[in-house]
Amino acid sequence: MFQGTGSDVGKSMIVAGLCRALTRRGMRVRPFKPQNMSNNAAVTADGGEIGRAQALQARACNVPLSVHMNPVLLKPESSTGSQVILRGKRVASFKAREYMAARTQFLPEILASFEHLKAEADIVLVEGAGSPAEINLRDGDIANMGFALAAQVPVALVADIHRGGVMASIAGTFGIISKQDAAMVRTFLINKFHGDVSLFDDGVDYLEKNTGRPCAGIVPYFADAWKLPAEDAVALDSPVKGRGDDIKIAVPRLSRIANFDDLDPLKLEPGVELRIIQPGEPLPGDADLVILPGTKSTIGDLADFRAQGWDIDLAGHVRRGGHVLGLCGGYQMLGQAIHDPHGLEGPAESVAGLGLLDVETTLNGEKRLAEVAGMHLDSGEPISGYEIHMGETEGPDRDRPVTVIAGRNEGARDRNGLVSGTYLHGIFASDSFRRAFLAKLGAKAGGVFSYDVAVDETLDALAIHLETHLDVDMLLKIAHG
């Protein structure tokens, strides 16, 4: 199990890289995360949802996604509450304090999922959440040491030297966790190192003597990590840019943005500049396309969108002939109205949408979860992706659908063809569709870029990187006792 001295220290990437490295060695490998918190979810073949990090790790193992890989997924609905997904299905919504009191009830199912994966694998690589040093959260923990002890899984502690204070973060973790928890930690490793590794030899010596644990390695910064899907929205804190300026795409950073990995293929596409517009910034006047991304709270993010003045910017963008694409919650926001008769997102109410599509959405309690494949009508290109949403959208602009999925018309377009919306996620990973879509915006013809190939090549490079800088054999010895 890989736990961190803090959040965003690179646990997900370490696990993904080791999943690929061990798979390349011929081992049967499975990823696992007992409890995840993310609005960036993936859909499994049987209609469940798990965190995107586990989806990437499963891909690194060359195995299908399974709800057992992430049995508890928390999807924040507000600053104080989350939707609880248990083995792929929504079971409840809890305020933070309520969940803290109730979370131990999920441990038996977590352990059962872990045993399920163990039965089909040579090794299971487990990712923790946050840090085990959050001792105020230790009682009833199911994500870090609570799970490690219950399942008797040895722990490797991951620290990020890029943040600074790496020695204090490692030594401090051992200093404040209980002796019982500390006994589960068998090794530590240091991630994201810049420069001459030998300059840290004295630091390693100190930490090994101070903790009594061997160092599994010092991993230099992996420059191509940005090419892999990120689960944590911290990846959106800075503008994301591609490698050219033929096409400019702007994406407003919604406060409850979800499934933002929709943007990853565009981020890698040559000739595309992808800009994440942070709160307080206007939507750029020279954008060719504005994408309204998915959101966990359509009504709440619509209010925030207006508070930023982005509704005015977007209206001006359309008047100038700019294109708009709404994805899932962004699609709902583009309509005339959003109705929440059951109070799923707050008070039962109806609110005016942005009015750029002649459709209205009614939110309901049934979540649609499905992998889909079909055709993009405008280009005639094949398209695949997944649906993960609550709500039904109807109206005259639905007579101009965006895609046909299994004989079913999906999405909506306005009369001018400038504004469109779809419930489909992951569509830009379809290479021929993405090229045709960008060509209509004016992208110049270039070399053929395959998103799936790029991700797999990056996973292979990450695996080689970790094999070079980590003592993988030592980690295997620790794992197998």
pLDDT at 415: 95
The pLDDT of residue 240 is above 60: no
Contact 459, 20 (CB under 8 A): yes
Same domain for 52 and 95: yes
Same domain for 220 and 254: no
- The total number of structural domains in the chain stands at 2
Domain of residue 96 covers 2-226+457-479
Please check whether residue 328 lies inside any domain of the structure. yes
Same domain for 80 and 39: yes
H-assigned helices in 288-339: 298-307, 310-319, 329-333
pLDDT confidence band for 442 (50 / 70 / 90): confident
Same domain for 169 and 43: yes
pLDDT at 382: 95
Please check whether residue 122 lies inside any domain of the structure. yes
Same domain for 353 and 300: yes
- pTM listed for this prediction: 0.90
Separation CA 77–CA 39 (nearest Å): 9
Same domain for 136 and 67: yes
pLDDT digits (tens, 9 = 90+) for 248-300: 999 999 999 999 999 999 999 988 999 999 999 999 999 999 999 999 899 99
Contact 250, 289 (CB under 8 A): yes
Same domain for 28 and 103: yes
The residue among 191, 100, 194, 178 whose CA lies nearest residue 145 is 178
Which token pair is 84? 């609880």
The pLDDT of residue 135 is above 60: yes
Same domain for 222 and 253: no
Mean pLDDT of the chain: 93
Please check whether residue 105 lies inside any domain of the structure. yes
Question: Which residue numbers are catalytic?
Answer: 328, 425
pLDDT digits (tens, 9 = 90+) for 52-80: 999 999 999 999 999 999 999 998 876 66
The pLDDT of residue 38 is above 90: no
Please check whether residue 33 lies inside any domain of the structure. yes
pLDDT at 446: 61
Separation CA 93–CA 321 (nearest Å): 42
pLDDT at 481: 83
The CATH number of the domain holding residue 318 is 3.40.50.880
Please report, rounded to a whole number, the percentage of residues in the chain having pLDDT higher than 90.
Answer: 80
pLDDT at 245: 61
pLDDT at 376: 96
pLDDT digits (tens, 9 = 90+) for 352-391: 999 999 999 999 877 888 899 999 999 999 999 999 988 9
pLDDT confidence band for 91 (50 / 70 / 90): confident
The pLDDT of residue 238 is above 60: no
